[in-house]
Amino acid sequence: MKISYGWVVVGAGALMGCVAVGSMFSLAVFLQPMADATGWSRTGVSSAMTLDFLTMGVAAFGWGALTDRFGPRVVVLSGALLLGLGLVVASRATSLLEFQLAYGVLVGIAAGAIFAPLIATVTGWFDRHRSLAVSLVSAGMGVAPMTISPLARWLISAYDWRTAQLAIGILAWALLVPAAWLVRRAPVATGAAGQAMPGSGDPGMTVRQALQSSPFIVLALTFFCCCATHSGPIFHTVSYAIACGLAPMAAVTIYSAEGLAGLAGRIVFGLAGDRFGAKRVVVAGLLVQALAAGAYFFTRHLGEFYAVAVVFGLAYGGVMPLYAVLAREYFPMRIMGTVFGAATMVSSLGMALGPALGGWIYDNYGNYGWLYIGSFGIGLGAAAIALAFPPLPSRLQPALQPAA
Q: Where are the domains of the chain?
A: 7-186+196-386
If you compute the radius of gyration of the chain from its CA atoms, what whole number of angstroms results?
A: 20
Q: Nearest 5°: CA angle at 109, between 105 and 114?
A: 150
Give the other-Cβ count within 10 Å of 369's Cβ: 15
Q: Backbone phi, then psi, for 95, in 5-degree steps?
A: -140, 160
Dihedral sign for Cα atoms in the order 284, 285, 289, 292 = positive
Question: Both ends of the chain: CA-CA distance in Å?
Answer: 9
Q: Do 231 and 354 contact (CB within 8 A), yes or no? A: yes
Counting runs of H as helices and runs of E as strands, what totals does the chain give?
16, 0
Q: What is the pLDDT of residue 189?
A: 56
Superfamily covering domain 7-186+196-386: MFS general substrate transporter like domains (1.20.1250.20)
Q: What is the pLDDT of residue 404?
A: 39
- What lies within 8 Å, CB to CB, of 95 at 6+ separation is none
Q: Is 158 exposed, middle or buried (0-12, 13-18, 19+ CB in 10 A)?
A: exposed
Q: Do 355 and 318 contact (CB within 8 A), yes or no? A: no
In angstroms, the Cα distances linking 121 to 117, 134, 195 are: 6, 9, 20
Q: Is 264 exposed, middle or buried (0-12, 13-18, 19+ CB in 10 A)?
A: middle
Q: Nearest 5°: CA angle at 68, between 64 and 71?
A: 100
Q: Do 17 and 224 contact (CB within 8 A), yes or no? A: no
State whether residue 196 is helix, strand or coil.
Answer: coil
Q: Backbone phi, then psi, for 360, in 5-degree steps?
A: -65, -40
User: Each residue of 95-113: b (16+ CB within 10 Å) or e?
Assistant: ebeebbbbbbbbbbbbbbb
Q: pLDDT 10s digit of each residue in the chain, 404 long?
A: 345 788 889 889 889 988 888 888 888 788 888 888 888 887 788 788 878 878 888 888 888 888 888 889 999 999 999 999 999 999 999 899 999 999 989 999 998 898 788 888 888 888 777 888 888 887 777 676 677 888 888 999 888 899 999 999 999 999 999 999 999 887 765 444 344 444 555 677 888 888 888 899 999 999 999 999 998 888 888 888 888 888 877 887 887 788 788 888 888 888 888 888 888 999 999 999 999 999 999 988 888 899 999 999 999 888 888 888 888 888 888 888 888 888 888 887 888 788 778 878 888 887 888 889 999 999 999 999 999 888 876 544 433 333 43
Euclidean distance between CA atoms 254 and 309, whole angstroms: 7
> Looking at the whole model, is its pTM more than 0.75?
no
DSSP string, 283-324: HHHHHHHHHHHHHGGG--SHHHHHHHHHHHHHHHHHHTTHHH
Q: What is the pLDDT of residue 174?
A: 93
Closest CA to 65 of 211, 263, 188, 265: 211
Q: Which residue pairs from 366-370 have beta carbons closer than 8 angstroms and sit at least 24 positions apart in sequence?
A: 367/243, 368/236, 368/239, 368/240, 368/243, 369/297
DSSP string, 254-283: HHHHHHHHHHHHHHHHHHHHHHH-HHHHHH
In angstroms, the Cα distances linking 34 to 31, 86, 146, 306 are: 5, 17, 21, 26
In angstroms, the Cα distances linking 78 to 72, 83, 187 are: 10, 9, 22
Q: Do 378 and 229 contact (CB within 8 A), yes or no? A: yes
